[in-house]
Structure 1
Amino acid sequence: MKFSKLPLLLIGFGSLIYAQNQKYTMAEAVNGLRSNLAVKSVSQFSWTDDAKAYIQGTRNAYLITEMQGMKADTLVSLYQLNKNLSTEQKLKAFPPIRFTDKNKGYFTRNGKYYRIEKSGSDWKISDWAALEDGAENVQVLQDQKTLVFTVKNNLYVHRNGKTVAITDDANANIVNGQSVHRNEFGISGGIFAAPNSSKIAFYRMDESMVNDYPVIDWSVTPAKNTNIKYPMAGGKSHQVTLGVYDVNSGKKSFLNIEGDPEQYLTAVTWSPDSKHIFVGILNRDQNHLQMNQYDAATGNLVKTLFEEKSDKYVEPQHPLLFFPGSNTDFIWQSQRTGYNHLFHYHLDKGLVAQITKGDWLVTDVLGFNEKKKEIYYASTQQSPLERHLYKVNWNSFRTQKLTSAPGMHTGILSKDGSQLYDVYSNATTPRSVNVINTHTLASKNILTAENPLKNYKRPEIKNVNLKADDGTPLYGKLILPTDFDPAKKYPVIVYLYNGPHLQLITNSFPESGNLWYEYMAQNGYVIFSMDGRGSSNRGLKFEQAVFRNMGETEMNDQLKGVDYLKSLPYVDAQNMGIHGWSYGGFMTTSFMLKHPEVFKAGVAGGPVIDWNMYEIMYTERYMDSPQNNPEGYKKANLLDKVQNLKGKLLMIHGTQDDVVVWQHSVNFLKAAVDNGVQLDYFVYPGHAHNVVGKDRVHLMQQVTDYFNQHLKQQ
């Protein structure tokens, strides 16, 4: 009897070993973190107005948790909603509810908007609005009565049961109320409602002068063409104005904005008293910004508040942020010192003070605590590889760090600034969710997620610190094969992007950054990834190192990574591959042609091949115009370099790509044929710039098979 437990112990030990030796399927490696391997999270978090409780969604209910005792209770359930609905109306799944306070809210279903309101222990549902078919870009105004939306190219307002057309442009090339300038300059929409809901400002974009570009739908026979407007570098750009609609009178006017019709209108902001509109006017060369104040009633210019100039580019990315309770004082985020920081301005006095300073950048402003005169923000102050949350007093500039655990933190601040919802992950923490009292800094944990990868055979990962030619630190990650044997030699895959507005290397979960990397490590590969100069969140000097010369500085930095890899005794330098998408596809193709001896195989997805064919706003910021920088464009153009290809190159493109249009890789194919160069090529019909969903599994299987075919010893 004494030894009867031994077999059970052995079985248990064997199960543990097996459990920690699972390998990813390709589907798990590609989509697992969004499906069966998803890290548990808090859903649809919001603070109540008084910050005494928070609301979160579950599958069949919303819960409300009181901060004092952390006691959770059901706020509203699916059962309670369905009690008041007919059999035909009953909800099968809980719709996302937007709570306007803890007793009221609204939700949308099949294009219809419904209000909900607590009545005793029950909830009443009432019809609010049925929008036009095809309604998009819907905004609910502050008064909770008015909805603004677009249908095709026109703008509409719904109020008191009636829908009124704000614009009625029959010309489809004139677009109202939608995002402009191809979502550059932090632009994410085209409707700007006044705080008091009395007026609606909106973008009006005339694209009639921009060339049509065909995007073919191959899913029907015969195939169907849809023309889009795609302004290419050096060509004609669209022209944007800013309209103002008075909801009460029904009158519409336009701001009297002077200057080049092709200039960019950015950072659109209402004054808190709804009397003025502020617009950042950026010239097409993107090196001169004027922040102008306009009278919302007359449309006339009041004055220019300030200007920013650069010998390279100015890139506004945020609207003005007014201090609570003030119509005169606001925060402007600017990179003028080399890093994105907060500047305090007054409408009459001008610049009051620079609030944050240092060789690091503010990545997000979370809000204010008006009573204590504090601003809350996220920044790279601790490390470029991490984000932490801080508060700063806008008078004394005293700064305090609010988060201590290493990693990538994001936050949601309560309306009064007294409570902070903090979510973070790091290399060993899948997700931790805490609420922080911003006065005492006492923290309460509301979720510590289990590691969904705990049963998988995971690789060792090393942080790599290298230096660029000018001594700039470069951060990367090296992922070793599972069952690593330092006496063996392994093939290598370098994954890169290395373009503006993206950072690959951070202290977050999973530590690898991508489960496909871990899948490849399970299958005998070393994986290396590094952010070179030109990529994001390291300041202007780091980003602007590529100015007018894309593809050169970045490759020099990535070659430092290659030298590092070659110095490792277990790296098979004869069997190295490279892979990237979009800017990474441009980099991959550039490497295969400009340094053809380095990589044996490459896979370039959605690659920019010729910057003359990429969009004006992005390209001319980093490359200047083709007319002013012909040498830079020529050097970056890959069409006349195809004859240099020595290794194996697979090029992939989505046929519906409206970002890097399909013609980039089609022209490259033609150049390969003209030069007698063999090239592997694959398209994904129906996919735009990225291949997503179940088809992404097919994509990554194809990428994997290509590297297996060409990098593994047969």
Structure 2
Amino acid sequence: MIATTTYAQGLKTLTLEDLNFGGNNYHNMVPKHRYTTWWGNELVRTDVEDCYIVNKNTGIETELFSLENINKWSGMDLHHLYNITFPVAGKTQVLLNDGKKQMLFDWKDKKEIWHTDNNFNGSTQASNFNYTSRATAYVKDWQLHVVNAKGKDKQLTTDGSRNIVYGQSVHRDEFGINGGLYWSNDGKKLAFYRMDQSMVTDFPLVNIPELDWKPAEGESRIATPAPEKYPMAGEKSHKVTVGVYDVNTGKVIYLDAGDPTDRYFTNIAWSPDNKTIYMFELNRDQNDCRLVSYNAENGKKIAELYRETDKKYVEPLHPITFLPWDSSKFIMWSQKDGYTHLYLFNNKGEQLKQITKGKWVVLNFLGFDEKHKSITIESNELSPIQKNIFIVSLETGKRALMDDNGKGWHTGSVSPDGQYIVDSYQTPTIPNNIAIVNTANGKRTSYYKAEDPWKGYTVPTYECGTIKAADGVTDLYYRMVKPLNFDPKKKYPTIVYVYGGPHAHNVDARWHYCSRGWETYMAEKGYLLFILDNRGSENRGKDFEQVTFRHLGEEEMKDQMKGVDFLKSLPYVDADRMGVHGWSFGGFMTTNLMTTYPDVFKVGVAGGPVIDWKWYEVMYGERYMDTPQTNPEGYANCSLLPKAKNLKGKLQIIIGLNDPVVVPQHAFSFLKACIAAGTQPDFFVYPGEPHNMRGHQSTHLHERISQYFFDYLK
């Protein structure tokens, strides 16, 4: 067990305005950072008022220009310099965008190189700019447009609508998708998604008008429909196709991928010569994944390069990446050996080698070093709760650690030539340090050390350790936040904070073990907080993650109850005053634990909870549960509706009324089941809010959550 502790008397007390991201003082209470970008192989720091070039060997900064001057020289109206980029190595040119126009500007000669007007900005549904061709693709009023370098706007579609969606994220943002516009490297061709969701059922969300007690003349007092296209598990899903627009010819073609019914297309990539498009194609069962290449000129299928199947599911989350020194070879991610690793293939689909291997996972790919034929990655090889930076030789597979001590959570940015890494890192006791690493000799130059923003405040104790999972073998990591001025002779009310679902984890080796601000707040109020990453959570390998397949919630609860057994073994935990809280999948877990173990948990707060997986969306739900038609027993066993009768303690359910992720039907149905069973949950709703509360409403939310425990878990 590792612990970090701070005790002091007469210091200020942290509040939710300090600790919650919506709080009025939150921005002053998070570790400071320095934002950097690359100008070729030169390192540049961008800030609100100034921009600096950074000496990579000393960390010394020299000003390039100020916000005031760049606005005066260019005639732009920038409010900060965070988002500027330097697209031309060796030339004193910066790319500026103030929302009204985009400009390439030479700050040395104080002259404009070129600009394009952004008259379409502000109301676009999607946009993507390509520097090489200076063309911008955007979607407005559902229609796809392209503006060329001369500012000529061409509308490519006329049938765009809520039913026919162009150029935006598809498949409910699953499979690593976060957009729908993909420029070729030279910017002369644009690949884009077209999603036909006319067959998908609308879920009837509603907008409540924000009116004064006396509305203005002509202002409606009536709520308006805000339907959400929502494909529930086992129901009809949308159909996606991929189009390609040629800027030079003005023509649009579509990839000949066949019938898109019950198929997923993801991770679109362009070949280095811009002639071929690659994408992963997945069946609806998500257990058969294929990498396919297409001719970008005519859309014809070229070849199926790779196929991966799994008895449970395959998750393609990353596009392929070609080697900059050999356009016939590419790197591909796969979990086929049980852990997420990188593989080298040629463009014929032949696997040349497995680049990384071991009982750990690659977390991120950062870049190439062409001179040494190596890559830079982030992985958790050293510990499941760490992220460390390694250089990996593609020829030998040998790895070199780029951290100074192999501890903590490191996030890297690599120069284009791979010779330098900006390493921003935290440890449980370090808020944020930044070093510049020379990859050739491993020399680290200290660049920035953030001060502890909580200096002068009372701070509880943060600990981390492991317990065995319900299988008796697997190590699970936990975080514990002990009450302020902890006394081991006292007994404390204890709250289990839980998420527990796929593609997330709570415990890692960041500052305070990545503890949430709300945990600190509750610890300062005399509560002990316990957080456990159960089996089914991320970054521990395929077997660890897939143990929940077809029965979500069951194995997760077994592990969480092992955590409860551990808590009960501690003399300072009051087993008669135990609560639980979580949001989304954590709301599902909270409700599940409250109704499955009603004599263990006295108080619970469930936010945005899934109640029955047959009401959740197709892509996520069917990956982990199959369909209700093929897995009726699993869906029945995982439903919380039959458990409504078991509720004994105090349970508050909180949702956003306009939640498009876990739709309100879940919470409403559980309330109806409780009414029928005669049990008494509490309920609170945030009108107009989605799945998570935004802005200062998040502070209000956490005040409410806290008060519920203050009232009933004293």
TM-score band, normalised by shorter chain: over 0.9
- For residues 364 and 614 of structure 1, the distance between their equivalents in structure 2, rounded to whole angstroms, comes to 29
Structure 1 residue aligned with 2:692:
690
Partner of 1:188: 178
Please identify, of 579-588 and 157-166, the stretch whose mean Cα deviation from structure 2 is larger: 157-166
Q: 1:127 to 1:260 in 2, by over 3 A?
A: closer
Partner of 2:37: 46
Q: Is the 1:653–1:684 Cα contact (8 Å) retained in structure 2? A: yes
> What is the CA-CA distance between 1:123 and the residue it aligns to?
5.2
Equivalent of 2:676 in 655, 661, 674: 674
**In structure 2, what is the equivalent of residue 506 of structure 1?**
508
Do structure 1's residue 173 and structure 2's residue 163 form an aligned pair? yes
Structure 1 segment 573-584 matched on structure 2, within 5 A: 573-584=575-586
Label 1:511 to 1:310 Cα distance change in 2 as closer, same or farther (>3 A): closer
Q: 247-256 or 691-700, which moves further after superposition?
A: 691-700
1:408–1:425: 8 Å Cα contact kept in structure 2? yes
- Point out the more displaced range, 448-457 or 230-239: 448-457
Partner of 1:652: 654
- Partners of 1:664 and 1:349 in 2: how far apart? 45
Cα distance, 1:71 vs structure 2: 3.6
1:72 maps onto 2:71 in alignment: no
Question: Which residue of structure 1 aligns with residue 46 of structure 2?
Answer: 57
Q: State whether residues 546 and 554 of structure 1, in contact with CA within 8 Å, keep that contact through their aligned partners in structure 2.
A: yes
Residue in structure 2 matching 1:163, options 153, 164, 171: 153
In structure 2, the residue matched to 1:361 is 361
Residue of structure 1 aligned with 2:622, choices 613, 620, 623: 620
Counterparts of 2:350 and 2:575 in 1: how far apart (Å)? 58
The amino acid across from 1:35 in the alignment is H
Q: What does residue 454 of structure 1 align with? A: 455
CA gap of 1:513–1:253, structure 2 versus 1, over 3 A, is same
Q: Displacement, 1:515? A: 2.1
Tell me, in whole angstroms, the C-alpha distance in 1 between the residues paired with 2:681 and 2:26.
34
| 1:35 shift after superposition | 1.0
Q: Distance in 2 between matches of 1:563 and 1:257?
A: 53
Match of 2:288 in 1: 288
Q: Give the structure 1 partner of residue 85 of structure 2.
A: 98
Q: Distance in 1 between matches of 2:379 and 2:460?
A: 30
Q: Distance in 2 between matches of 1:376 and 1:68?
A: 20
The alpha-carbon distance between structure 1 residues 585 and 107, as it changes in their structure 2 partners (threshold 3 A), is same
Distance 1:231 1:422, change over 3 A: same
List per-residue Cα deviations over 1:566-616 (Å, max 9, x = no partner): 111111101100000000000000011111111001000000011111100
Name the residue aligned to 2:132: 143
User: 1:711 deviation in Å?
Assistant: 1.1
Which deviations, in whole Å up to 9, do the C-alpha atoms of 1:250-294 show, x marking residues without a partner?
Answer: 000101002452200012111010010111110000000111111
CA positional deviation for 1:697: 1.2
Shift in Å, 1:95 = 6.5
Contact kept in structure 2, 1:95 and 1:109, CA below 8 Å? no
1:386 corresponds to: 386
SS of 2:392's equivalent? Answer: strand
Please list the CA deviations of residues 49-72 of structure 1 after superposition, one character each: whole Å capped at 9, or x if unmatched: 1x2x31111221111123355442
Partner Cα distance (2:252, 2:206) in 1: 37
Give secondary structure in 2 for the equivalent of 1:699: helix
Q: Using CA pairs below 8 Å that are at least 6 residues apart, which structure has the higher relative contact order?
A: 2
Q: Give the distance between the partners of 1:125 and 1:696, measured in 2 at CA.
A: 44
Q: CA deviation at 1:34?
A: 4.3
> What TM-score does the superposition give when structure 2 sets the normalisation length?
0.94
How many aligned positions are there? 690
Q: Is the 8 A contact 1:584 1:604 kept in 2?
A: yes
SS in 1 for 2:308: strand
Q: Which residue of 1 aligns with 2:12?
A: 22
Q: What residue number does 2:245 align with? A: 245
Q: Deviations over 1:610-644 (max 9, x none)?
A: 11111000000000111110011111111122011
The amino acid of 2:233's aligned partner reads A
Q: Does 1:128 align with 2:94?
A: no
Given that 1:344 and 1:354 are in contact with CA atoms closer than 8 Å, whether structure 2 keeps it comes out as yes
2:464 is equivalent to residue 463 of structure 1: yes
Task: Give the distance between the partners of 1:70 and 1:573, measured in 2 at CA.
Answer: 52
- Aligned AA for 1:48? W
1:80-112 residue CA offsets vs partner (Å, 9 max, x unmatched): 1232366xx655555731221352222222443
Which residue identity does 2:27 align to in structure 1? S
Q: What CA distance in whole angstroms lies between the structure 2 residues aligned with 1:636 and 1:669?
A: 17
Looking at structure 2, the residues matched to 128 and 601 of structure 1 have their Cα atoms a distance apart, in angstroms, of: 57
TM-score, normalisation: structure 1: 0.94
Matched, 1:210 2:200: yes
What is the aligned partner in structure 1 of residue 434 from structure 2? 433
Measure, in 1, the Cα distance between the counterparts of 2:202 and 2:81: 42
Q: Secondary structure at the match of 1:590?
A: helix
Q: Which residue of 2 aligns with 1:346?
A: 346
The 8 Å contact of residues 582 and 605 in structure 1, kept in 2 or not, is answered as: yes
Structure 2 match to 1:82: 71
Letter aligned with residue 158 of structure 1: V
Letter in 2 for 1:205: M
The whole-number CA distance in structure 1 between the counterparts of 2:248 and 2:623 is: 41
Other structure's SS at 2:708 match = helix
Moved more, 377-386 or 662-671: 662-671
Distance 1:201 1:582, change over 3 A: same
Rounded Cα–Cα distance in structure 2 between residues aligned with 1:439 and 1:689: 46
In the aligned structure 2, how far is the partner of 1:34 from the partner of 1:491? 27
614-623 vs 214-223, which moves further: 214-223
- Taking a change above 3 Å as real, the CA distance of residues 208 and 512 of structure 1, as seen in their structure-2 partners, is closer
Describe the superposition over 1:649-684 as per-residue Cα deviations: whole angstroms up to 9, x where unpaired.
000000111010111101111111222221110001
State the partner residue of 1:7.
none
C-alpha distance in 2 between matches for 1:468 and 1:26: 33
**TM-superposed deviation, 1:144:** 4.8
Which residue of structure 2 aligns with residue 37 of structure 1?
A: 29
Partner residue, 1:300: 300
Distance in 2 of aligned mates of 1:663 and 1:414: 49
Cα distance per residue 1:456-509 (max 9 Å; x no partner): 222222222111122111110122111112221110000000000101000101
Q: How far apart are 1:359 and its partner, in Å?
A: 0.2
Maintained 8 Å contact 1:142/1:195: no
Residues 589/292 of structure 1: CA separation in 2 closer, same or farther (3 Å cut): same
1:13 is matched with none
Provide the C-alpha distance between the structure 2 equivalents of 1:125 and 1:705, rounded to a whole number of angstroms. Answer: 58
Equivalent pair of 1:84/1:125 in contact (CA under 8 Å): no
Gaps of 5+ in 1: 1-15
- 2:487 counterpart of 1:478: no
Query: Any conservation in 2 of the 1:175–1:205 contact (CA below 8 Å)?
Result: yes
Deviates more, 1:404-413 or 1:204-213: 404-413
Structure 2 match to 1:631: 633
Higher deviation after alignment, 508-517 or 628-637 = 508-517
Find the counterpart in structure 2 of residue 199 from structure 1. 189
Q: Aligned partners of 2:563 and 2:209: how far apart in 1?
A: 43
The CA distance in 2 between the partners of 1:90 and 1:541, in whole Å, is 53
The match for 1:118 among 107, 114, 121 is: 107
- How far apart, in 1, do the equivalents of 2:423 and 2:160 lie? 48
Indicate the RMSD between aligned Cα atoms, in angstroms: 1.7
Question: What letter matches 1:369 in structure 2?
Answer: D
Distance change >3 Å, CA 289–CA 711, structure 1 → 2 = same
Q: Could you give the per-residue CA deviations for residues 180-228 of structure 1, whole angstroms, max 9, x where no partner exists? A: 0011000111111111111111111000000011221113421111222
**Native 8 Å contact 1:482 1:524 kept in 2:** yes
Distance of aligned partners of 1:93 and 1:439 in 2 relative to their CA distance in 1, 3 Å threshold: closer
Q: Residue 299 of structure 2 aligns to which amino acid in structure 1? A: G
Matched residue, 2:446 = 445
Unaligned runs of 5+ in 2: 1-6, 211-220
Give the whole-Å Cα distance in 1 for the aligned partners of 2:77 and 2:340.
49
